[in-house]
């Protein structure tokens, strides 16, 4: 046996060993799982990292991703509780929890979950009325997720969330909804306008009320001030008259004052007789008692008697 033949044999053995080693080593990426079969039967699941296989009997049957996956749910027709036909589509977020069940529990878990999501969505929409499908979309999504997870447990997958992308009612229903929303907006506008007018009227009435109150208070204050002014004026006039009478009485109590009083009375008597003579049709005949000296004498006598009476009254007091 030649040296070249021996070299060829060793090279062939080394090559086969390298191939066997290469097929025996499996590097599994992060967030993935390899399902291994031996003679067509499940053997084990390879997780992320370095793994070894029997290159002659083992094979990787399924390569499953463990990441969260999103799948579109095709549009489909659904009928609400009040018999309104809708076209609904959505998006489904799911994750493989058990690669073994996802491989052997169902033929295609994506298709199975999608079909289950469609049937569940039709069932849930049939339980509510049209208006509620828009108002309670979040509750509808949660109910769909709960029912899908309950049914998809044997498949090794879990639905994380389900989102309704679009709800499309018939054209006639959309037109009716638009008219309803328009009427509602007009109603709110009318209510707001009437509220504004009512508030404006209230403000005007309050302003007029306050103006009348202020005017009445001003008139009252003016009357009070006027009355106080008149009272002060009367008091001042009375005090002035009292002061004047006091001064006149003090002056009349003297000898010169008596003479002045007698002269004033004589002048008043003469003036009175002259007035009577001018205005009366009766002719007064002169006698000894009607001359000026007699008049003055009479007036003086009256004043003297008055003074004597006052002196007696003061003496008795």
Report pLDDT digits (tens) over 244-294. 767 776 766 666 666 666 666 667 666 766 666 666 555 444 444 445 556
In the predicted model, what is the mean pLDDT of the chain? 79
Measured distance CA(260)–CA(263) in Å, rounded: 5
Q: Rounded CA gap, 137 and 149, in Å?
A: 19
Of 59, 63, 64, residue with least CA distance to 36: 59
Domain ranges of the chain: 3-65, 69-169, 254-316
pLDDT at position 294 is 60
Quote the CA–CA distance of 260 and 220 in Å, as a whole number. Answer: 51
Give residue-wise pLDDT tens across range 94-111. 999 999 988 888 888 899
Nearby residues of 100 by Cβ (< 8 Å), 6 or more positions away:
35, 42, 45, 156
Give the least confident one: 162-171, 193-202, 276-285. Answer: 276-285
- Please work out, in degrees rounded to the nearest 5, the angle formed at the alpha carbon of residue 117 by the alpha carbons of 116 and 119: 65
For residue 283, what pLDDT is reported?
47
pTM: 0.51
Cβ-contact 26, 53 below 8 angstroms = yes
pLDDT band at 93 (very low <50, low <70, confident <90, very high): very high
Task: Find, among 73, 69, 80, the residue nearest to 165 by Cα.
Answer: 73
Smallest CA-to-CA distance from 76 within 119, 110, 132 is with 119
pLDDT digits (tens, 9 = 90+) for 206-243: 888 888 888 888 888 888 888 888 888 888 888 887 77
Tokens of 69: 């996956």
- As a whole number of angstroms, the distance between CA 149 and CA 147 comes to 6
The CATH superfamily label for domain 69-169 reads Band 7 domain (3.30.479.30)
- How far apart are the C-alpha atoms of 105 and 190, rounded to whole Å? 62
What is the Cα Rg of the chain in Å?
A: 65
Strands 41-46 and 32-38, sheet pairing: antiparallel
């Amino acid at each position: 046996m030649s040296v070249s033949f021996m070299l060829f044999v060793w090279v062939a053995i080394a090559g086969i060993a390298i191939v066997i080693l290469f097929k025996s080593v499996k590097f599994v990426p992060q967030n993935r799982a390899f399902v291994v079969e031996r003679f067509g039967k499940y053997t084990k699941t390879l997780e992320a990292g370095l793994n070894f296989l029997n290159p002659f009997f083992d094979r990787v049957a399924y390569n499953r991703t463990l990441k969260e996956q999103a799948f579109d749910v095709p549009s489909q027709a659904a009928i609400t509780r009040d018999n309104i036909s809708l076209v609904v589509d959505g998006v489904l977020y799911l994750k493989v929890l058990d690669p073994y069940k996802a491989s052997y529990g169902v033929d295609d878990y994506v298709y199975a979950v999608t079909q289950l999501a469609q049937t569940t969505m039709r069932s849930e929409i049939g339980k509510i009325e049209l208006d509620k499908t828009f108002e309670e979309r979040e509750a509808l999504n949660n109910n769909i997720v709960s029912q899908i997870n309950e049914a998809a447990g044997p498949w090794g997958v879990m639905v994380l969330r389900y989102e309704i992308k679009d709800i499309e009612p018939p054209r006639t229903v959309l037109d009716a909804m638009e008219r309803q929303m328009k009427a509602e907006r007009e109603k709110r506008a009318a209510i707001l306008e009437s509220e504004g007018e009512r508030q404006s009227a209230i403000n005007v009435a309050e302003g007029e009320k306050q103006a009348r109150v202020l005017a009445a208070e001003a008139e009252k204050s003016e009357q009070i001030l006027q009355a106080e002014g008149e009272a002060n004026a009367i008091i001042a006039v009375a005090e002035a008259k009292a002061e004047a009478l006091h001064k006149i009485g003090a002056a009349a109590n003297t000898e010169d004052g008596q003479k002045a009083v007698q002269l004033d009375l004589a002048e008043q008597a003469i003036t009175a007789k002259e007035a009577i003579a001018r205005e009366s049709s009766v002719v007064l005949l002169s006698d000894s008692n009607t001359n000026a000296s007699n008049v003055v004498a009479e007036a003086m006598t009256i004043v003297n008697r008055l003074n004597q009476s006052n002196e007696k009254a003061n003496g008795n007091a």
